[in-house]
Chain A
Amino acid sequence: MKVLVAVKRVVDYNVKVRVKPDNSGVDLANVKMSMNPFCEIAVEEAVRLKEKGVASEIVVVSIGPTQAQEQLRTALALGADRAILVESAEELNSLAVAKLLKAVVDKEQPQLVILGKQAIDSDNNQTGQMLAALTGYAQGTFASKVEVSGDKVNVTREIDGGLQTVALNLPAIVTTDLRLNEPRYASLPNIMKAKKKPLETLTPDALGVSTASTVKTIKVEAPAARGAGIKVKSVAELVEKLKTEAKVI
């Protein structure tokens, strides 16, 4: 079966971001960018499904600026077969991304679509669920285990109280949690081979999708700073401070 994986280019997870002085957003100039960690897990899962003989082809798609090609090449180096970039210079909301992905799903007809559960920049945790709604497919979000059997996929999900397993009819949408797998590293020969793999570029207009949004960001501020407190010398002093100064125990 064909598997579609969506990946996003985001600021590297180790970067401490800074808010722009004019409060228009976060300063991303000259900041290291990477593939969103949850998307790496999605690619890895698709590659494992191919290695098990479940998946026959892996198509990786990204919606973003021209530079998102780097992340698509990374996914190709990790084992995806071909890539699609839907080029959009502006930052899109999850619903617009889901609509664009729906157009790609209509075109490619995958049996399984794997996305990360959330992007570490917007922290929305919406796109997979929205894509499921638009396609009418079942959704297995926050997956820590995925097992395809026949025309169904069993997904074990991380929920607040523990784990839940659901059986979804294929085609289905799955979003990954951190514990689904440990992504591999791309080897140099695979990175070289990835340069020759096909990468198709599309635009929202070509897909006939409007990316208009009902939500706009008015301003972005730094959170209230939390200053360092004091260092205590002993456990006794700590308990004493917590009882008399902070009054929390």
Chain B
Amino acid sequence: MTILVIAEHTNSALAPATLNTVAAAQAIGGDIHVLVAGQGVGAAAEAAAKIAGVAKVLVADNAAFAHQLPENVAPLVVELGKAYSHILAAATSNGKNILPRVAAQLDVDQISEIVSVESPDTFKRPIYAGNAIATVQSSAAVKVITVRATGFDAVAAEGGSAAIENISAGGDAGKSAFVGEELAKSDRPELTAAKIVVSGGRGMQNGDNFKHLYTLADKLGAAVGASRAAVDAGFVPNDMQVGQTGKIVAPQLYIAVGISGAIQHLAGMKDSKVIVAINKDEEAPIFQVADYGLVADLFEAVPELEKLV
């Protein structure tokens, strides 16, 4: 068995989710090859070659892959993928965008967001916003799978010495074009990889009040998340949303401030090791999953918390 892992990267650097995806590949067992498709990906490819357990790195450096357009990347993965037993990608917005297109072109079902590997053909994945765990078995010749990063511990980023092989393939399919992007800038750790996450909900009342959470987060070295209510109300940008339709996080400590705890929010954070809830409504559902609950006005509790930590 040989497994192809599609690297998650920003062209210049490898994204941490790649390490969790390689961990899932190791759990399946077999030789692991990593595909780095993009433009100017030299540094990302070298980083991929150093990942512990990776046997080979395939580099497809082509202007057509610069923005990971699925119309251009999927045919490359399909062409390469036929020789592999498994094709894995992280369940990031890129992985979710590209892999189903690959699976359909290979005429196989895809398995989304696995959280554990039972055997090389059997996997567990959450359904119904994480309220049920399905065990699924694939009989496909090539198993196409996205991996929920929080389900697997990252492998070591150093220690490997994989061979790097350049492949010249692919081009512009001429169906789509990149127009532009607006990326949120932040010095805080990335939300999905942070050890501590502080999240705010509707209880924050406005975007300005999020500054209390930023101050607290900076002191804890934490990332800041939000509930859908806070995003929809325009308090913070949508890339901060934690939940079924936002990001899935599983930090050591999750502090939910002014968040009621709807099913859709819990789907994104209930695998956190320790959950703290600060809410003035003692009936809020968030207290049913919180390890430590504090019934208090967040505008008094958060500044006090910031002083004490």
Say whether B128 contacts A120, CB under 8 Å: yes
Q: How far is the CA of A241 from the CA of B275 in the complex (A)?
A: 12
Q: Give the residue of A128, A220, A231 whose beta carbon is less than 8 angstroms from that of B132.
A: A220
A-B contact pairs, 11 of them (CB 8 A): A26-B127, A126-B112, A139-B101, A158-B93, A160-B247, A177-B238, A216-B139, A220-B133, A230-B291, A231-B293, A248-B274
The answer to the question of B13 belonging to the interface, with a C-beta cut-off of 8 Å to chain A, is no
Say whether B112 contacts A124, CB under 8 Å: yes
Count B interface residues, CB 8 Å: 89
Chain B residues, Cβ within 8 Å of A166:
67, 69, 176-179
Q: Give the residue of A122, A123, A137, A246 whose beta carbon is less than 8 angstroms from that of B291.
A: A246
Taking CB as reference atom, which chain B residue is nearest A133?
A: B104
Contact A161 to B112, CB < 8 A, known contacts A223-B133, A228-B287, A231-B294: no
Q: How far is the CA of A202 from the CA of B33 in the complex (A)?
A: 44
Question: Taking beta carbons and an 8 Å cutoff, which residues of B are in contact with A?
Answer: 67, 69-71, 74, 92-94, 96-105, 107-113, 122, 126-140, 174-184, 192, 196, 220, 228, 231-232, 237-239, 244-245, 247, 252-253, 263-264, 270, 273-276, 282, 287-296, 301, 304-305, 308-309
Say whether A121 contacts B127, CB under 8 Å: yes
Say whether B175 contacts A168, CB under 8 Å: yes
Chain B residues, Cβ within 8 Å of A165:
178-181
Apart from A164-B180, A215-B111: 20 A-B pairs, beta carbons within 8 A:
A26-B128, A123-B112, A129-B101, A130-B100, A158-B239, A160-B93, A160-B239, A163-B181, A169-B174, A177-B245, A179-B231, A179-B238, A216-B136, A216-B137, A228-B290, A229-B290, A234-B294, A236-B304, A238-B294, A248-B196
Q: How far is the CA of A137 from the CA of B71 in the complex (A)?
A: 8
Contact A26 to B132, CB < 8 A, known contacts A126-B100, A158-B238: yes
Chain B residues, Cβ within 8 Å of A132:
70, 101
Taking CB as reference atom, which chain A residue is nearest B191?
A: A160
Say whether A235 contacts B294, CB under 8 Å: yes
Q: Give the residue of A95, A118, A122, A154 whose beta carbon is less than 8 angstroms from that of B103.
A: A95
Chain B residues, Cβ within 8 Å of A93:
109
Question: Taking beta carbons and an 8 Å cutoff, which residues of A are in contact with B?
Answer: 11, 13-14, 16-17, 19, 26, 93-95, 98, 117-118, 120-134, 136-142, 144, 154, 157-169, 177-179, 213-223, 226, 228-232, 234-236, 238-239, 241-242, 246, 248-249
Chain B residues, Cβ within 8 Å of A138:
71, 175-176
Task: Count A-B contacts at CB 8 Å.
Answer: 251
Q: Give the residue of A11, A94, A178, A229 whose beta carbon is less than 8 angstroms from that of B109.
A: A94
Say whether A125 contacts B126, CB under 8 Å: no
Chain B residues, Cβ within 8 Å of A154:
179
Say whether B291 contacts A229, CB under 8 Å: yes
Q: How far is the CA of A157 from the CA of B93 in the complex (A)?
A: 10
Say whether B263 contacts A133, CB under 8 Å: no
Q: How far is the CA of A216 from the CA of B111 in the complex (A)?
A: 10
Taking CB as reference atom, which chain A residue is nearest B252?
A: A248
Chain A residues, Cβ within 8 Å of B99:
129
Say whether B132 contacts A13, CB under 8 Å: no
Say whether A178 contacts B100, CB under 8 Å: no
B173 to chain A: closest CB distance in Å?
Answer: 8
Say whether A214 contacts B109, CB under 8 Å: yes
Q: How far is the CA of A229 from the CA of B257 in the complex (A)?
A: 16
Say whether A167 contacts B177, CB under 8 Å: yes
Taking CB as reference atom, which chain B residue is nearest A14?
A: B263
